[in-house]
Structure 1
Amino acid sequence: MSTNGIKYTVNLSFEEIKLPPFEEMLVLGKNSPHGKQGVSKSFDLLIPNGFTIIETNHENVDCVFVNKRILTKMPKEKILKILQNNVFPHVSEQEILKVDFKVKVSRKIVEED
């Protein structure tokens, strides 16, 4: 496109997003700018009754917002242990971390007569 000798070039792309912009978990640092109450209220508006808050005793992590679908597959104690060992050591007090937490359940069934 050209107007009065000026040429404009526009590169445009877009994609659909989902709200909230994560699906499984959100780890909230103790001093994150939004706070537990603010994030909780936002979730109640976007996805009512979709997430459970799991409190922590970690020095940098205040709580974890977990999609209730995950809690039907795995107990919150196991989830918390996995996060404490693998995620919490990398969280600063001011951060909010999106965690992709995919659960695959398999079971070996042995039939007895």
Structure 2
Amino acid sequence: MNASKTYGIDISFEELKLPLFHDVLVLAKNAVQGKLGLGRSLDLLAPGVFQSIDTEVESERIEAVFINRKLLTKIPVEHLMRVLQRHVFEYVGEGELIQVDMKVRISMHNINE
């Protein structure tokens, strides 16, 4: 008996977006990458793009935060860290690397020259 065979192939693809295009990377404690490893990787892929912020004082679960320097031209690091602490850090699990995209809108009203 000759059985006929059919094959099906499903394929999908999308543009690869490396961490360099994100605004903030939050590294939890016990992550595989580690603070130094991730820092070196980011420096190789995008030299000078990210600034590393130690967070051991601010959060016991977060080892480091890497912030895109372009974002820091718009928002002071202290303010940004308060926002992350209030709205992001509590959702980061042990060992995770979380990417955070932020949309910053600056509005100015009643400007007099």
Compute the TM-score of the two structures, normalised by the length of structure 2.
Answer: 0.87
Corresponding residue number in structure 2 for 1:14: 13
- 1:49 to partner: Cα distance: 0.8
Corresponding residue number in structure 1 for 2:37: 38
How many corresponding residue pairs?
Answer: 109
The letter of the residue matching 1:61 is I
Corresponding residue number in structure 1 for 2:54: 55
CA distance in 2: counterparts of 1:74 and 1:103, whole angstroms: 9
CA distance in 1: counterparts of 2:84 and 2:100, whole angstroms: 9
- Alpha carbon RMSD of aligned pairs, Å? 1.7
Gap runs ≥5 in structure 1: none
Deviations 1:51-101 (A, max 9, x none): 011111211011111111100100000000000111111222321111121
CA distance in 1: counterparts of 2:37 and 2:62, whole angstroms: 16
- 1:24 to partner: Cα distance: 1.0
Corresponding residue number in structure 2 for 1:107: 108
- 1:30 to partner: Cα distance: 1.7
The letter of the residue matching 1:43 is L
The letter of the residue matching 1:105 is I
Return structure 1 stretches of 4+ with deviation > 3 angstroms. Answer: none
The letter of the residue matching 1:63 is A
CA distance in 1: counterparts of 2:21 and 2:97, whole angstroms: 12
SS in 2 for 1:54: strand
Gap runs ≥5 in structure 2: none
**8 A Cα contact 1:53 1:64, kept in partner:** yes
- 1:103 to partner: Cα distance: 1.0
Deviations 1:14-61 (A, max 9, x none): 122122275111101121111000001110111111101111121101
The letter of the residue matching 1:5 is S
Q: Does 1:90 align with 2:91?
A: yes
My pick for the range that moved more, 33-42 or 8-17, is: 8-17
